[in-house]
Every structure is written in structure tokens, then in C-alpha cells.
Structure 1
């Protein structure tokens, strides 16, 4: 048999076998799963976590670990609150947030799809509101991501009102005393957010503190107080205030919001 004829038949047979294998098993280079593709895209995104009153970065460890498992870069802000004047608290927390943003910015700000998200538990949500109100240019940046407030007393705390009335709250410092429901309190002095955000509220109260509330609450903050005009989505969970920062269900809701801008999937 002529050599050229033999080669044509050989190549034709090889092509047919390859085509059959591709048809049976799919392409030789497998497509990445949706989950792995999402985790790859999350590597371009940072989540800044801000803790609440009388806590530290360690209190956000479980949430940070769970978010990190989904591929996000996580930066946990650590700032003092007890015995601090509210302005000191806001200034020191802002420096910490700046540090997180700077770290991320140097590495990924020039990449398409990079985002910086903010998640605050309790007072941490007010810290984020103050920070973003003072840096409006950030909220218009193409790298500005999602914002989630978790158990944040956006209208003030009834518990803070109670302890303020018996002169116990000031002993904890100006930051704690600023969390009342009065018109001059920190929550009610802050401007309303000019950006979309989601809110998670707890509904499992502490028995000893139930009498301080007239409505559903997480033991320290009422559900009504967490809500704020302009919410993009809102959800309640049967979790106490201090557990909101470590409960896996809550963290999963946060993760969904970061990806979908909703806590629950719409059909």
C-alpha cells in the first residue's frame, strides 16, 4: 500500500477514535465546577470583618475561617472599645480598616472583578457606617463590594438605655454610652447609607434581659432597631446576639449575600 494512502487512513481512524472518545466522555480538558470557579473568583475579593463592643478580632475567628474556606481574603479589624471615647474608637478602627484596604489594594486593585466587602457585628456595623460615610469615594469605586450588618443597633439599644438610666453604662466608657436610642446617640447621628446593604437580626433573647424589650430581640438589640431605610435585603435568625458572629448558618447567609446580593434565593 502506498505510504500516503496508509497515512491518510491512519489519521482518519485516529480522528474518529478521538471524536468518539470526546463524545462519550466529554472534552479532554474538563470544565471547572461552578463551586471551584466561584472560589477562584473569590480570591480576587476581600472581606473586612469588624467586631462589636467589648470584643476583639479573636471573637470573629469562626466567621473568618468559614469565609476563608470559600476562597475570600479575610482581614479582621481589631480595635479597643471599653474605656474609650467614641471618637477614639472610630479613629482607631478607621486606621485598622485603612490597613486592610491598603493590604488588599496593593495586590489586587488592578484586577478585573476585585471587590472589597464589609461585614460588621453589632457596634462593628456602626463603625463601618461611620467609615464609609467619611469616605464616599470608596462607595463609588468599581472595587466596592457588599455590606452586611449583623445584629447592629442601627436605631440604638434598649439595653444601653436601661443601663444608662441606672448610671452603669458610663462606667464602660464613652463608646458604650453612645449606643442608646436617643437622638444624639451614635446610631442616630450617623447618616443613612448611600449604598446597598443587607441586615441580619437575631430573635433568640437572653432570659435575664427579656423584660427590657417590648418586641422581638436577640438579647441586646431589638429586631426593629437593626432595620434601616435602604436595606437591600433583611432576614431574621433564631440566634442570640453573641452567637451571631460564630453561628455557621449566619456566616452562610453572609456568604450568599456577598455572591447574590440576597440572603434567600429567589425562584
Structure 2
């Protein structure tokens, strides 16, 4: 039976990390978007490259895009957060120093897939001056285990998640886990949750989930908007319809992709 658990763990690592055509932006939208940045943060076991589809679609709408790259596997949670914080700060600095003219509409928005959402929450909690500044934009959490993952619970109990390091083992639903130790957001944010599970993990959940994270775990008090999509966890980061929802939220504050 142990080989089955190992196979399932490998599948979880692979995955942790309905489409409509994109609307062409108008000239005025492009001009406005060029003074706004979108910082994108990937999840566990992924890299900046894994967010390329989303990055390209958002860039085509005129936004300045910075995709954060940081280590997650066989890392302490402190190192993961330290490296990601440095990368996010670098994105903000590059945007501030860019050649284009900044206006009173200059904003920086954040999009985090899975663990990436927790990384963003941690960063913003430690940078209150930026959160209270006029440059603070919208935040979208995409399949983020805001209260931990049932799949992480399963593999921690089997003693196998430790092979992936402390950052991975920190993602459980335990009341003292990393996700549950973060302060509540004090900025505008929306949540997108997937509802299409993976058969191999479906027995680990009691309720609706995206295969790795339950819908309930994605929810946070104070959500400005919330939407469920019939998409698996890993596909959330590369589905064009999901990116349309993100673009809608950062421009209007709602997930209206019509």
C-alpha cells in the first residue's frame, strides 16, 4: 500500500502548483492599464514559468506584469517567505523606477495561486505602509488554502510530506499552521475557488473542492467578491476564463467576466 501513497504524493506535487475569447482593450484602457502593475505569485513546487499563460493574457491588456519566482521545496517557511518578500519588493521597486509616466491612477495589484496567495498575505501584513498608500490596488486569491489543505493533512499524517520540506508541511488545517496564523486582510480582495476535484484525492474531502483545497478553506472574512468555477486546482492558473475574472476584479472590484 505504501507505493500507492508515494504515487499520490507525487501527483499532489505535480498538481499543487469554459473559456471565452479575450476582449481587445480600447486605447484608453491600454493607457490606463500601463500605469498599473500586476504582481503574480506562483504556488508550491512551481516557478515563475508556470504562470506564463496568465502573465501573457494580463500583459496583452496593457498592464505591467511582474511574476515572482521563489523557492518552495525543501525550504524552511522562513526562507520561502524571506525570498518571496525580496522578490515582491523588487517588483515594486522596478515599477516605481519604470520609464513610463506615473499618474494618480498608478496601482499595484496582486494575484496569488495556491501558496502564492498566502505569500501575498504575509508580505502585505508586514508592509502596512504600502497597504495604506494610494498605490495599493486589488488582491485576488486563486485556489489559496487560507485555512489549510486537507491533502496536506493526509500526507503529513503519513509522514511523507516532510520529504518536500517545512513550507509544504506548513499548509495543514491545524489551528496553528502557517495559513491559520496569518492576520485577516485589511485591504480589498476577492477569492476564486475551483470545484472540480481529482479522483485520486476526492476521498480526502467531505465537501466541494478543487482537488487540493476545499472551497470553504479559500474563503476569508471581508471578501469583496467570491466566485466558484468548475475547474481543477492546477488549471486555475492557466485557464483563460479565470484570467478574465481576475482582470474584471482588478478593474471593477467584481468577478463579472461578461
Q: Is TM-score (shorter-chain normalized) higher than 0.5?
A: yes
1:210 aligns with 2:234: no
Whole-Å Cα distance in 2 between the matches of residues 219 and 68 of structure 1?
Answer: 29
Shift of 1:34: 7.5
1:99 aligns with 2:58: no
1:117 aligns with 2:76: no
Contact 2:150–2:213, Cα closer than 8 Å, also in 1? yes
Change (3 A) 1:119 1:109: farther
Whole-Å Cα distance in 2 between the matches of residues 47 and 78 of structure 1?
Answer: 14
Partner of 2:171: 179
Partner of 2:60: 69
Aligned residues: 234
Shift of 1:110: 4.6
- Rg larger in structure: 1
Shift of 1:109: 8.1
1:199 aligns with 2:191: yes
Instruction: Give the TM-score of the pair, scaled to structure 2.
Output: 0.88
Is the partner of 2:224 in helix, strand or coil?
Answer: strand
Shift of 1:35: 2.3
Specify every segment of 5 or more residues in structure 2 that has no aligned partner in the other structure, as ranges. Answer: 1-23
Partner of 1:164: 156
- Residue of 77, 99, 113 corresponding to 1:86: 77
Whole-Å Cα distance in 1 between the matches of residues 237 and 26 of structure 2?
Answer: 24
Whole-Å Cα distance in 2 between the matches of residues 198 and 133 of structure 1?
Answer: 17
Partner of 1:228: 220
- Residue of 247, 256, 262 corresponding to 2:248: 256
Whole-Å Cα distance in 2 between the matches of residues 199 and 116 of structure 1?
Answer: 17
Whole-Å Cα distance in 2 between the matches of residues 260 and 152 of structure 1?
Answer: 21
Whole-Å Cα distance in 1 between the matches of residues 114 and 28 of structure 2?
Answer: 32
Shift of 1:163: 0.4
Shift of 1:111: 2.3
Shift of 1:197: 0.3
Is the partner of 1:231 in helix, strand or coil?
Answer: coil
Whole-Å Cα distance in 1 between the matches of residues 246 and 257 of structure 2?
Answer: 13
Q: Deviations over 1:220-263 (max 9, x none)?
A: 00000000011000000011000000000000000000110000
1:45 aligns with 2:2: no
RMSD between aligned alpha carbons? Answer: 1.4
Q: Which has the higher contact order (CA 8 A, sep 6+)?
A: 2
- Residue of 128, 131, 155 corresponding to 2:147: 155
More helix by percentage: 1
Instruction: Give the TM-score of the pair, scaled to structure 1.
Output: 0.85
Is the partner of 1:207 in helix, strand or coil?
Answer: coil
Q: Deviations over 1:183-206 (max 9, x none)?
A: 111100000001110000000100
Whole-Å Cα distance in 2 between the matches of residues 205 and 143 of structure 1?
Answer: 37
Kindly report structure 1 stretches of 4+ aligned residues shifted beyond 6 Å. none
